Amino acid sequence: MQAGESRDFITDGIKRYKEHWKLAWSDMTLVTAGDVLVSLSDRKVHNTDTQPDYAVFEPETAADAEALASAFAELGVQVASDKRFGDKVWLYVFSHKTTWPKERWPDLPPVPGWNPPLTNRKRLDSAALPGEVTPFLFRGCEYRVENVMAHYLYPAAAVGSHPHEDHFRIRRVEDDRLISIPLMNHYFATAFVWKDICYCFALDLGEAKGWTSSRINMISSKDLISWTAPVCVLDVSADGESIFNNTITHDGRRFVLLYETNDPKYPIFTLKFAESDDLIHWRKIPGAIYGKEKYTGGPALYWIPEEQYYYLTYVDMFVHPVVRKLNYRTSVTRSKDLIHWEDAPAGRAVLLPDYGHRPDPEGHPDVYDLNASDAEYLEKDGGVRAFFCGGNQWGVADNQTAEYHGTLAEFFREFYA
């Protein structure tokens, strides 16, 4: 996140918003909030079919946010204050008399002294549908777990429709062949191979409305075709939370499961950890949390023995400095104990949106990338390949890849050099 913006900067930005749309002060609403994504969504500003324009700012302090809100209230702006989390407060302005601009966003300025390690970025050449993927090696061959949102199977279907037909697939890379569909009515599936057995962990959608389940199920296979019956290995319903993505690694002593939740004590999407000796029975690790004060999601966790670090990449929401709207990059942090975390220096994103890229030029020609998320990595043949999602985070997406020449340890080390 940015360090914070001055009152004068924010005041000027709100005035520019008003002038651009030729609004009266009374046409505008100004909101202070601890979780800007949830607040925008709750007010039907973000992630809706009739989305208005908005502008987001990051005041230096909560006192600055309140002072700005009071000053604009005196001008006739409607002012509201939403839920807070600690000292971090966002501020945003919107009006339902505006419409979402469809033009391409400008590129971000380069970060001095920083050359992003991933290169050769391109759309994934595969019959796979858009969705989160996990690359893995199994018995000498490369495969992918592919999560499928069922609305992609129905032409003109609304985003998020047919949720109980969501599922995941196993695809062999060398011939792009679909090998199996292990489970229906499951999503956010990942794969972890241990001693020639492939374990898949996925969110059990059950009877839930949308992705609001609290259960992770596990299945396993020795051939990627025949799978064991699903077993629930984690249930957080007693905590009043839902689970989303998950990722697993082994640190030489134990298996570590990272699971993404919507713990109401924190901004939406918080990363928590559990440990296991057998991949079935999991114990929550006390104090092991990442993302208490910010949006995090789409995690991928790797234990790098040469470094004795856990490296975690995750989706990091940030404000585009020109258009003042939310977009999403992949960032990296690391830890030796899963409790104390060291973020990479500011500006060293793993992946940024390609603002000139259209994820679905035929179906949605006016949609450009605002997102580079849900990255996972495969080390093979002296290089690393990243797989990630482009798109707009509102249901228009594609799968993309990028490459690094070197080991996974060398790749992560680049961000801290």
Domain annotation covers residue 183: no
Pair type for strands 29-33 and 78-81: parallel
CA distance 136 to 128: 16
What pLDDT, in 10s, does the model give residues 140-189?
A: 999 999 999 999 999 888 888 898 999 999 999 999 999 999 999 999 99
Tokens of 346: 């500011």
CA dist 188 → 36, 145, 245, 250, 417 (Å):
24, 10, 5, 20, 33
Domain annotation covers residue 19: yes
Calculate the dihedral angle through the C-alpha atoms of 200, 201, 202, 206, rounding to the nearest 10 degrees. Answer: 100
What sign does the dihedral 14-9-343-81 (CA atoms) show?
negative
Model confidence, pTM: 0.96
Q: Which residues lie below 8 Å from residue 219, measured CB to CB, with a gap of 6+? A: 182, 183, 199, 200, 202, 227, 228, 229, 230, 231
Look at residues 378, 313, 304, 296 and name the one whose alpha carbon lies nearest to residue 336. 304
What pLDDT, in 10s, does the model give residues 218-239?
A: 999 999 999 999 999 999 999 9
Look at residues 51, 60, 69 and name the one whose alpha carbon lies nearest to residue 6. 60
Domain annotation covers residue 288: no
What pLDDT, in 10s, does the model give residues 371-407?
A: 999 999 999 999 999 999 999 988 889 999 999 999 9
Domain annotation covers residue 117: no
Structural domain including 87 reads 7-94
| Domain total in the chain | 1
| Contact (CB, 8 A) for 102 and 366 | yes
What pLDDT, in 10s, does the model give residues 51-96?
A: 899 999 999 999 999 999 999 999 999 999 999 988 889 999 999 9
Q: Report DSSP state, residue 239.
A: G
Domain annotation covers residue 84: yes
Domain annotation covers residue 58: yes
Domain annotation covers residue 40: yes
Query: Is the confidence at residue 411, as pLDDT, over 60?
Result: yes
What pLDDT, in 10s, does the model give residues 272-326?
A: 999 999 999 999 999 999 999 999 999 999 999 999 999 999 999 999 999 999 9
| Contact (CB, 8 A) for 105 and 370 | yes
Domain annotation covers residue 326: no
Instruction: Write 397-400 long-range contacts (CB < 8 A, 24+).
Output: 397/130, 397/131, 397/359, 397/360, 397/371, 398/123, 398/124, 398/130, 398/359, 398/360, 399/123, 399/124, 399/126, 399/128, 399/130, 399/131, 399/133, 400/121, 400/122, 400/123, 400/124, 400/372
For residue 47, the model assigns a pLDDT of 74
